[in-house]
């Protein structure tokens, strides 16, 4: 059911500095066109005792660790105690949550990473939202444009939602685990606590607390 993939069912808004961005919206992808402007507005309110301002609308928490080889383009906010590792590439319109890790050769563009998110090894995350403590294994990516360049439609069985967007990566709920080498195709939405097997090509919606082994084998996680 598409109602399972609303903001309320996917994300804990207490675990992001960007909570206000999601207010008044139903689905998390509705924030994608607004991330850049929101960053500029929010950045101007951040405490200069806690955040360093850099030219180009970039705010970096003074407690964050940023490798000298990392490239950060604005607008961007790097949260408290975040870690931006060697050769990370932040192209702009990115919010990196508190305690999050952006790793070696990982690329971000037009994203919200909630607190404690880990994208630590060779990940591409574009036009996406990653919930609290979501983790992407090495080499897993969010593909954000369809090969036919058509507008992205979110599908869950027979239910569909037209997004009106050409660029749309993936929406990951809190505590999602994505296995190494997986490709999340445009319009993928993964419910809270779900696990994706390594090397999986995922499209459509994966229900909360399920394991995605293949498109024909999605099983519930037993406590």
Query: CA-based Rg of the chain, rounded to a whole angstrom?
Result: 16
CA distances 83 to 67, 96, 116, 202, 203, Å, are 8, 9, 10, 28, 30
**pLDDT digit string, tens, across residues 90-118:** 999 999 999 999 999 999 999 999 999 99
pLDDT band at residue 74, thresholds of 50, 70 and 90? very high
Q: What's residue 103's pLDDT?
A: 97
Measured between alpha carbons, how far is 51 from 163 in angstroms, rounded to an integer?
Answer: 34
pLDDT surpasses 90 at 1:
no
The model's confidence at residue 158, banded by pLDDT at 50, 70 and 90, is confident
Omega prior to 117 cis, within 30 of 0? no
Could you tell me the CA-to-CA distances from 96 to 66, 72, 84, 148, 189 in Å, in that order? 12, 11, 9, 31, 20
- pLDDT score of 16 more than 90: yes
- Kindly provide the b/e burial profile for residues 142-178, where b requires at least 16 CB atoms within 10 angstroms of the residue's own CB: bbbbbeeeeebbbbbeeeebebebebbbbbbbbbbbb
């Amino acid at each position: 059911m598409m109602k399972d993939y609303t903001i309320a069912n996917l994300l804990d808004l207490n675990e992001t500095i960007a909570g206000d961005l999601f207010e008044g919206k139903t689905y998390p992808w509705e924030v994608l066109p607004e991330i850049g402007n929101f960053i500029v507005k929010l950045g101007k309110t951040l405490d200069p005792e806690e955040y360093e301002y850099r030219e180009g609308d970039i705010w970096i928490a003074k407690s964050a660790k940023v490798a000298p080889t990392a490239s950060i383009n604005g607008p961007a906010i790097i949260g408290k105690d975040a870690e931006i590792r060697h050769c990370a590439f932040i192209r702009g319109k990115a919010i990196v949550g508190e305690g999050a890790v952006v790793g070696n050769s990982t690329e971000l563009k037009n994203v919200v990473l909630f607190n404690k998110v880990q994208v630590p090894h060779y990940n591409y995350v574009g036009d996406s939202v990653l919930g609290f403590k979501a983790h992407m294994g090495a080499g897993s990516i969010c593909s954000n444009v369809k090969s036919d360049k058509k507008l992205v439609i979110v599908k869950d069985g027979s239910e569909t939602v037209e997004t009106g967007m050409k660029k749309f990566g993936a929406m990951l709920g809190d505590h999602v685990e994505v296995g190494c080498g997986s490709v999340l195709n445009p319009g993928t939405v993964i419910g809270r606590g779900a696990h994706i097997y390594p090397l999986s090509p995922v499209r459509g919606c994966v229900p909360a607390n399920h394991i995605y082994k293949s498109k024909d084998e999605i099983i519930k996680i037993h406590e």
